[in-house]
């Protein structure tokens, strides 16, 4: 498993790292290796996790110091059981949506969008809920959101979608968690909560894309959270090359054909304008 280059020492702080000429040079070599992998591919999947969005200023919810280490996550069952919990969940949804709106896609997101537009990337599978891939220009139908998204809401019974602004207005008017206008079911933010089943259609699409590709590139995921971490292995078993780009070691580095370790935007960025 070749590691090109090992920027582990520099991975602590991307901003300090990119000022170091040796790191810049190493990142350029990594970008070249990545560009060569994409150039040799006919049908690629890019799989992204929190690491790409932390470089836009979005916290990694699960990491030490992340939001979940200071605020207990709301479990799906608790949402179903308690009106009080539902109202707290909605407050978090509104705060989260505001924090997403306040940041912008970074060089990594833009490079991936370019690789979808006129490169071999057929599908972007993401664990992120911030919609930054779409905001960077990836057509929505090319993005598979394994954990839903934080920018809207849907009825748990019939699936009818609701804008967050409408849910917020309904809560302000009634003091109650909103119900579906079509069927009366519970409306919930469109993220997949802890304890909530993974969306079957997204899981199916991610599996198909993984089996169909000849290159699978992991970007910014530690590949620890299941079942998402299984997709690189599905791709590998189907004969695809596996490339892993992350600031730190991941659970599947030993399975990869190529491991690129360093600041994500710095390594992906040059692929935006080849």
- Judged by beta carbon, residue 178 or residue 232, the one nearer Zn ion is 178
Catalytic residue among 109, 133, 147, 149: 147
- Judged by beta carbon, residue 3 or residue 186, the one nearer Zn ion is 186
Minimum gap (Å) between residue 157 Cβ and Zn ion: 5
| Residue 181 binds to Zn ion (criterion: CB under 5 A) | no
- Judged by beta carbon, residue 3 or residue 154, the one nearer Zn ion is 154
Residues in region 125-164 near Zn ion by CB under 5 A: 155, 157-158, 160
Minimum gap (Å) between residue 170 Cβ and Zn ion: 14
Contact with Zn ion (CB under 5 A) among 66, 73, 185, 270: 185
| Residue 183 binds to Zn ion (criterion: CB under 5 A) | yes
- Judged by beta carbon, residue 43 or residue 179, the one nearer Zn ion is 179
3-class secondary structure for the chain?
CCEEEECHHHCCCHHHHHHCHHHHHHHHHHHHHHHHHHHCCCCEEEEECHHHHHCCCCCCCCCCCCHHHHCCCCEHHHHHHCHHHHHHHHHHHHHHHHHHHCCCCCHHHHHHHHHHHHCCEEEEEECCCCCHHHHCCCCHHHEEECCEEEEEEEECCCCCEECHHHHHHHHHHHCCCCECCCCCCEEEEEECCECCCCCHHHHHHHHHHHHHCCEEEEECCCCCCCCHHHHHHHHHHCCCEEEEEECCCCCCHHHCCEEEECCHHHHHHHHHCC
Catalytic status, residue 147: yes
| Residue 182 binds to Zn ion (criterion: CB under 5 A) | yes
| Residue 258 binds to Zn ion (criterion: CB under 5 A) | no
- Judged by beta carbon, residue 156 or residue 249, the one nearer Zn ion is 156
Minimum gap (Å) between residue 153 Cβ and Zn ion: 11
Minimum gap (Å) between residue 179 Cβ and Zn ion: 8
The residues, any chain, with a CB within 8 Å of residue 73's CB and separated by 6 or more, are 193, 194
Minimum gap (Å) between residue 168 Cβ and Zn ion: 18
Question: How many residues contact Zn ion, by CB under 5 A?
Answer: 8
Active site residues: 147
Q: Where do contacts with Zn ion occur on this chain (CB under 5 A)? A: 155, 157-158, 160, 180, 182-183, 185
């Amino acid at each position: 498993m070749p590691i090109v280059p090992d920027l582990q020492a520099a991975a602590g702080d991307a901003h300090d790292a990119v000022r170091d000429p040796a790191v810049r040079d190493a990142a350029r070599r990594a970008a070249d290796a990545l560009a060569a992998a994409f150039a040799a591919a006919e049908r690629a999947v890019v799989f992204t996790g929190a690491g790409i969005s932390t470089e836009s200023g979005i916290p990694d919810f699960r990491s030490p110091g992340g939001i979940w280490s200071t605020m207990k996550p709301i479990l799906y069952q608790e949402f179903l059981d308690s009106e009080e919990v539902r109202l707290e969940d909605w407050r978090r949804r509104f705060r989260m949506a505001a924090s997403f709106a306040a940041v912008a896609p970074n060089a990594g997101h833009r490079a991936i969008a370019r690789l979808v537009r006129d490169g071999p990337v057929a599908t972007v599978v993401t664990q992120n809920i911030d919609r930054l891939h779409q905001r960077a220009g990836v057509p929505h139908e090319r993005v598979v959101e394994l954990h839903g998204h934080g920018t809207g809401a849907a009825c748990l019974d019939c699936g009818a979608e609701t804008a967050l602004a409408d849910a917020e207005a309904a809560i302000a008017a009634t003091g109650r968690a909103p119900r579906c206008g079509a069927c009366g079911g519970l409306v919930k933010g469109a993220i997949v909560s802890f304890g909530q089943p993974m969306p079957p259609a997204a899981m199916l699409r991610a599996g198909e894309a993984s089996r169909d590709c000849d290159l699978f590139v992991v970007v910014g995921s530690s590949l620890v959270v299941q079942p998402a971490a299984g997709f690189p292995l599905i791709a590998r078993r189907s004969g695809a090359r596996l490339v892993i780009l992350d600031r730190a070691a991941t659970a599947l580095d030993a399975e990869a054909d190529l491991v690129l370790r360093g600041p994500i935007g710095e390594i992906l960025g040059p692929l935006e304008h080849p």
